[in-house]
Structure 1
Amino acid sequence: GLFRKDEVVPLPGDRVYISIVDFTKKVGFIEEILPRQSQLVRPAVANIDTVALVVSVKAPAPDLMLLDKLLLSAEVNGIDAIICINKIDLVEAEEYNRIIDEYKESGYNLILLSSKANVGFNTLKKAPKDRITVFAGQSGVGKSTILNKIMDSWIMETGEVSSRIERGKHTTRHAELVELKDGGYVVDTPGFSSFELAGISHTTLETYYPEFSSYFGRCRFTGCSHISEPDCCVKQALTEGLISAGRHKRYAELYNLLKMQKDNEYRGKNRKGKD
């Protein structure tokens, strides 16, 4: 229920004080929700240490804009992120190397996975130890299958990908914490095909791209958008291959979208003021 006094809704991952009403029947109630160290809006989970973002190389096709938005959400909330590139057995190495090339300069840990070939799971199993790790990504990328694999047991329901539209079926309907035998918790979350950014403006967007950080303050113009201005160090790095062209293109799309939203909001306020 809603904690009306603090206007806080309990979330998976919350640390709480509880009162036990009946030990035998395991009945009790939450007395207090402790302050959260982090919180995601979508998926709605609290106190996350790491977010493992899963993208498949095929079936469904990789949605790198969605991946970028999820990485931005992690950055805004101060949560460590790793990128899991799944289903690598379905394509040639050239295909998944394209995704690696997109993110290799960003500093994120990239893990190649294939449940069929049993690749990458020994590495991935180390990530959630003594941490709360949420697995997120678009529908059908194999999050539940990955969790079953790293837990060496069948825990989560898995589903097939529609052959007609290559879109995953939502087999996970809610966020759920599962304790690991070696310490830590993992969270499977419902998949999604769209994601709206929150808590980011066009003026702060650049600060959430790790590969841009070494160029801050070095551009000719203060407040450089890194899109059209001359003498921009980020654009120079892009030309030199130090920043992914795909990442920069999607950054520009998000910058323009956020700027347009801000401009529309400003015009809306002005119209209300004149009325």
Structure 2
Amino acid sequence: MQTGKIIKSISGFYDVLTAEGKVERTRARGNFRKQKIKPVVGDHVEFEDGYILAIKPRQNVLVRPPMANLDLAIVVMSAVQPDFSTNLLDRYLVYLAANNMEALIYVSKIDLLSEQQLAQLMPLLQQYGEIGYRVYSHGTADFSGIKEAAAGKTLMVMGQSGAGKSTLLNYLLPELKLATAEISQSLNRGRHTTRTVTLYPIGVGGAIADTPGFSSLDLSQINSEDLGHYFIEFLDVSGQCRFRGCQHLREPDCAVKAAVETGTIAKFRYADYVQLHDELGNLRPTYRKS
């Protein structure tokens, strides 16, 4: 029996990279379907005669994009074309935090901004840095910093379509020569260039994934009552709220709302929290099948 890591999934086939550096094309055995278990990119598996026989315990698993055993996610956001959105970025960060994933923020197309636009954007990026996120902006120096941050880790690159994911990946792995997405002026949204999830070796012991671009996330499996745990700066003060389980909305003596008033917590972050809390509260809960 052989072991390896799934590096690509397409049309029911799984390419597995073995310890010897060979890539073997496999399929999942039938009883996985009966157990409602589906192998995903990043899974460590055991296989024989072209069939995956076992999936080893996962460090973590994402539903969209379907991946497992990730250490880090690079969230690619565009400064313009499409326009930068803190609301969208915060949704990505919540999604990753809910899945126990470390996040790194990369903002592309900074060079296309006017001085006025740049003056509006930089304070927002500084706020994310003060919260505790690593933030990089367009430029080869920052590309180098990202490569250092990715050393020895299994990571994915995710973000809105047309934001520059392929450009970043082409720098990190020039041999890929990925197509760069065109921008649809009518939709202000990039056309999807990437169709499959693929994991590529990078450096010593590292791997990086390109994932299909998308501008929305399925957050329906997050309980609105837990949302405050995923806005990481809330955790610094929420223990001082008057009520245990405070949702930081209409409750009296809320330390989070007080921190917003004093500027300790950014108003735009709190506004994104309130909007997302309202959206999640109006959804019927969904549960992952074990």
TM-score by length of 2: 0.81
Native 8 Å contact 2:156 2:208 kept in 1? yes
Question: What displacement does 1:227 show?
Answer: 2.0
> 1:25: which partner in 2?
none
Equivalent residue number for residue 222 of structure 2: 200
Residue correspondence of structure 1 range 223-238 to structure 2 within 5 A? 223-238=245-260
Q: Which amino acid aligns with 1:13?
A: G
Work out the CA distance in 1 between the residues paired with 2:68 and 2:47. Answer: 17
1:161 aligns with 2:183: yes
Equivalent in 66, 70, 73 of residue 88 of structure 2? 66
Matches within 5 A, 1:74-113: 74-91=96-113, 92=115, 93-113=118-138
Residue 135, structure 1, aligned to residue 146, structure 2: no
Worse-superposed segment, 51-60 or 145-154 = 145-154
- CA deviations on 1:15-60 (whole Å, 9 max, x unpaired) are 11121x4xxxxxx221211111111111111111101111110011
Tell me how far apart the structure 1 counterparts of residues 227 and 43 of structure 2 sit (CA, whole Å): 29
TM-superposition CA deviations, 1:137-160 (whole Å, max 9, x none): 111001011011122334322222
**Residue number in structure 2 paired with 1:270:** none
Q: Distance in 2 between matches of 1:35 and 1:240?
A: 45
Q: Which aligned runs of 4 or more in structure 1 are off by greater than 4 angstroms?
A: none
Q: SS in structure 1 opposite 2:282?
A: helix
- Percentage of matched positions with identical amino acids: 38
Match of 2:196 among 174, 178, 182: 174
The Cα of 1:119 is off from its aligned counterpart by: 4.1
Residue 102 of structure 1 deviates from its aligned partner by: 4.3
51, 58, 76: which one pairs with 2:73? 51
Paired letter, 1:261 = L
Unpaired runs of 5+ in structure 1? Answer: 22-27, 266-275
Aligned partners of 1:144 and 1:58: how far apart in 2? 16
The alignment covers a number of residue pairs equal to 253
Contact 2:220/2:280 (<8 A) preserved: no
CA RMSD, Structure 1 to Structure 2 (Å): 1.8
Does residue 15 of the first structure (1) align with residue 64 of the second (2)? Answer: no
More strand by share: 2
Output one character per residue of 1:203-226: Cα deviation in whole Å (capped at 9) or x when no partner: 111111110111122112333221
Give the structure-1-normalised TM-score: 0.85
